[in-house]
Amino acid sequence: MKIIHIGILGYGVVGAGVAKLLKTKKQLLESRIGTVLNLKTIADIDTKTDRGVDLGTTRLVLDANEIINDPGIDIIIETIGGKTIARQFILNALENKKHVVTANKALLASFGNDLVKAARKNQVDLAFEASCGGCMPIIKALRESLVANDIKSMSAILNGTCNYILTKISREGSNFEDALRSAQELGYAEAEPSLDIDGFDTAHKLAILNSLAHGMEINLKDIHVEGIRNITPVDIEFARSFGYTIKLLAIGKIHENYVEARVHPTMISGSNPLSYVDSSMNAIVIDADATGQTMLYGHGAGMMPTASAVLSDIADIARNIISGSKRRLPILGYPEDNIKPLPILSMEELYTKYYLRFEAQDHPGVLSKISGILGENNISIKSVHQKGRKSNGKVPIVMITHIAKEEWVQKALKQILKTDSVVGDPVVIRIEETDQE
């Protein structure tokens, strides 16, 4: 049986998970793939800590170049993370004609186009199933299974940390800090948790998925990103009373000459299947023309789910190698020459429904002043809710609008803030409705 030699750069949680699967699933992998996958070398700056994996004959070394420059290694797995040394190591590996597998969504979102070019130049594969949605086979779905479809829209929960926090606040009334700490203890959060809670991790994943869905270059910089720091139990309670759940969604929709790509807390009703996706779970609903709606659901983070996705890439590349057909699948789902520039809609141009919550002075005429300004800006109010008088003389006023343009809403909010009717910034949460609503 042919032997394919593998090196891993980065022996952290995911790297150790990959090593563990390569060792413990050796027989299953060999019988499924028809080749021996030999984990030859792992490189990490920490060669001392016991990761609980029996490495057998695998070498654990300090210097990544022992893998990158080893002519005997066919596939390199990058599980270091970050955008500095990981980027250089991958570029060097591609230059050395190694196939590369990475889980590094931040790197792909920022420099993926360059990595794709480098892989093309060197005629090797670059695979990244583990970069989006953990073990959900979303890359494979977009690149292969849905090849005959125009992807109309994608709507997804792609960050386990945020979903865990929102679920915990919603179910237990926890405060934000406690919920985040608990997510960190469970190992879901990034080393820098602002990547999670400020929405950037979700945006990285959306940038990658948009490219695969629509044949566009990876474009992170034009995605509108808002995180969940300002979501309070008060808004979660109000949302519940209107039949909505608040989720941090990645939304990607194709229009004739542009795409919509945004990440923000979103109110969704019970008719949206994503409203039932709780805790650290991830899910994506893809609406495509031939298939209609398809939903994938699974663990978006964690050692073994992520390692499982990395192994699926290793298996693909190994199967290519043994059948003599490298680069069988275009890296971004379309041959590089067919990838087109597609602009992302600017946020001011978005039309959607809004939940607005004001801390209003409890004075006569305040409600009519706020609704007057909204009306002057073309914003039609669907419903208004006012809770009883508070001890400090302020009352929360909540309004749900009909579909309005973001530009009008932002202009109206600025005008409302200039009046003496409200205190502090209003809370704005966009509402996403399904076709059935």
Contact between 17 and ligand HSE per CB under 6 A: no
Contact between 160 and ligand HSE per CB under 6 A: yes
Phi, psi of 342 (to 5 degrees): -135, 115
Phi, psi of 423 (to 5 degrees): -120, 135
Contact between 78 and ligand HSE per CB under 6 A: no
Does the active-site annotation cover 326?
no
CA distance 101 to 28: 20
**CB of residue 280 to ligand HSE, shortest distance in Å:** 7
CA distance 133 to 72: 32
DSSP string, 305-357: HHHHHHHHHHHHHHHHHHTT-TT-S-TTSS-GGG-B--PBPPGGG-EEEEEEE
DSSP state of 144: I
**CB of residue 209 to ligand HSE, shortest distance in Å:** 13
Contact between 136 and ligand HSE per CB under 6 A: no
CA distance 247 to 265: 5
Contact between 188 and ligand HSE per CB under 6 A: yes
Q: Which is nearer to ligand HSE, 73 or 189 (CB)?
A: 189
Contact between 235 and ligand HSE per CB under 6 A: no
Query: Among 23-31, 183-191, 357-365, 412-420, which window interacts with ligand HSE (CB under 6 A)?
Result: 183-191
Size of the site for ligand HSE (CB under 6 A): 11
Contact between 313 and ligand HSE per CB under 6 A: no
- Point out the catalytic residue in the list 105, 205, 247, 253: 205
CA distance 369 to 298: 47
Question: Considering only residues 161, 167, 211, 266, which one is a binding residue for ligand HSE as defined by CB under 6 A?
Answer: 161
DSSP string, 165-203: HHHHHHHH---HHHHHHHHHHTT-S-SSTHHHHTSHHHH
Contact between 300 and ligand HSE per CB under 6 A: yes
Helix (H, G, I), strand (E, B) or coil at 234: helix
Tokens representing residue 331 in the block = 């890296």
36-43 and 3-9 strand pairing: parallel
**CB of residue 158 to ligand HSE, shortest distance in Å:** 7
Q: Which is nearer to ligand HSE, 74 or 190 (CB)?
A: 190
Contact between 333 and ligand HSE per CB under 6 A: no
Active site residues: 205
Residues that bind ligand HSE (CB under 6 A): 134, 159-161, 188-190, 196, 201, 300-301
